[in-house]
Every structure is written in structure tokens, then in C-alpha cells.
Amino acid sequence: MAPTLAVFKLASCDGCQLTLLDCEDELLALAGEVEIAHFLEASSAVEPGPYDLSLVEGSVTTAEDAERVRAIRAASRHLVTIGACATAGGIQALRNFADVDEYRRVVYAHPEYVETLATSTPVSAHVDVDFELRGCPIDRRQLIEVITAFLSGRKPDIPDHSVCFECKRRGTVCVTVAHGTPCLGPVTHAGCGALCPAYHRGCFGCFGPSGSVNLPALIPLLRRDGLDDAAVERFLHTFNAAAFEKFEKESAK
């Protein structure tokens, strides 16, 4: 029997599960290797668990989703979170630093109709996760690697070095050194292939923190290149809103 694959979604933009459908060259081959048992965006055929591999996109922002993610975990042999929302709370985790009731009043005429938690948290804050794939959105090649690795029972080859390594490998001139462009590349997890510098802009951190983060070395460079304190804070608090926070606390000591 082919192993079963399930795809679930919590609070998110659908971009990471869409990445699976964006594997145009691999999709039908993959569908020949696995049984897609639950993938609402792509199929109305829904099979009950347990599932061999579950991919979870999105963050936990409601009490229902907190329950749901536990049910998903219980039904999954391997659970892999995909994307910045599922691994770090996503951009909607900006509420973690704000008053969610005030947010509710700003956006909705009837805030009382809207149920939400005060926080947006990664899946790993609720259940054990077997692997976290970073990115806002995830990278197609990395997704194929993770699925292939789990299907063949090995560890995914996803290095946790920084975007700088990818720039060097790509032969991209450093935008900070050459142009004084503020760039989060030195502290951001590799995986995108160092896209932004190749398009003449600084990395804005959509893959979250890399394996080693040295904010005390980076922040003076960001200031030198024109960012004030508020801009530095905004820069670090966007698509992986909460993820750089622990490093900020460490560097404040």
C-alpha cells in the first residue's frame, strides 16, 4: 500500500499548500507514490486517518484549531509543519505584541461575532512536531526534499545556515557591503536561494532565524544603513513576527 499523505490548514494564506500544487513537474509523479488521503484544497475525496505523513500549514489562533491540531497529531505518524505561520506563528502573530480586543474592534463592526485567541502560536507550541520547514512561503525544492525524505525514512537535508551562504553560492554581490542596503540575510535561515539580494534588495527575513543568530553584530549595521530603532524592530517583526524575539532578549542582556 502506498503511504498516505494528508495536508491540513490552520490560519494562513494557503500559499504553502499551494506550493505543493506548484510542483507542476512532480505532482503527478508524487501522486503515483503516495495516496493523497486528505488535502481539501486539491481534492473532495477525504479518507480517515491515520496518515503516514501530515503536512500542516498555518498557525493556531482559535481554541478550535488548538483542539484540531491535537487530533491531527494523534492521527499522524509523522507531522511536518510547513511555512512561517506553522513554524513561528506567521505575520498574524503580530497580535502577540498588541491588544487583540482592540484589533477585533478595528477590523470588525461586530467584534463579538469573532472568536480568536489573544495569540497566534506555532504548531510546536501545542504538539510534538517531527520537522519544521521554514519560509513565507516555503520553497518548492525543499518541500519535495522533505516529502521524499520522510517517504524513504531518512532525515531531510535542509541545512540551517544563513542566507549569506546562498548569496555566496549564487555569486550575488553583498547588498550591504556594496550598497549599504539593510539586509537580514546574516541572521535568516537559508532556503529561498537568496532571492532578494539577487533582485537588488535586502533580505526581509521571511524564512525566520537561522541556526546561529548574532543580532548584536547585525543591528549596528542596520542602524548604519539608515534604520532607526522603530524601523529595526519592524524589520525583525514581520513574517516571523515572534521568532526573532528570543534573540532580541538575549542581545539586550
Verify binding: residue 218, another protein, rule CB under 8 A.
no
Helices 215-224 and 245-252: crossing angle, nearest 10°?
Answer: 90
- Note whether 136 binds another protein by CB under 8 A: yes
Least Å distance, CB 134 to another protein, is 14
Nearer Cβ to another protein (60/218): 60
Q: Is residue 174 part of the contact set for another protein (CB under 8 A)?
A: no
Return the number of other C-beta atoms located less than 10 Å from residue 126's C-beta: 18
| Shortest spacing between CB 157 and another protein, in angstroms | 21
What cell numbers appear for 178 in the block? Answer: 556594496
Per CB under 8 A, contacts with another protein among 22-51 are 22, 24-25, 27-28, 31, 36, 38-50
Distance (Å, whole) CA 176 – CA 11 = 34
CB–CB of 119/245 below 8 Å? Answer: no
Total of chain residues touching another protein, rule CB under 8 A: 76
Taking the complex as a whole, the smallest distance from the CB of residue 245 to another protein amounts, in Å, to 16
Phi, then psi, of 59 in degrees rounded to 5: -105, 165
Q: Using the Cα atoms of residue 178, residue 184, residue 189 and residue 191 in order, give the sign of their dihedral.
A: negative
81: contact with another protein by CB under 8 A: no
- For 4, list phi and psi in degrees, rounded to 5: -95, 140
**What's the min distance (Å) between Cβ of 132 and another protein?**
18
Q: Is 118 in the site for another protein (CB under 8 A)?
A: no
Regarding 116 and contact with another protein (CB under 8 A), the answer is: yes
Contact of 184 with 203, CB cutoff 8 Å:
yes
The residues pairing with 51 across neighbouring beta strands, listed in sequence order, are: 76
Of the two residues 59 and 162, which places its CB atom closer to another protein in the complex?
Answer: 59
DSSP state letter for 209: B
Is residue 1 a contact residue for another protein (CB under 8 A)?
Answer: no
Grid coordinates of 190: 537559508
Report the half-sphere exposure of 148 (CA within 13 A, side-chain side): 12
The reply to whether 143 sits near another protein by the rule CB under 8 A is: no
Per CB under 8 A, which region of 86-94, 125-133, 161-169, 213-221 contacts another protein? 86-94
| 179-198 residues near another protein, rule: CB under 8 A | 192, 195-196, 198
Does 134 participate in binding another protein (rule CB under 8 A)? no
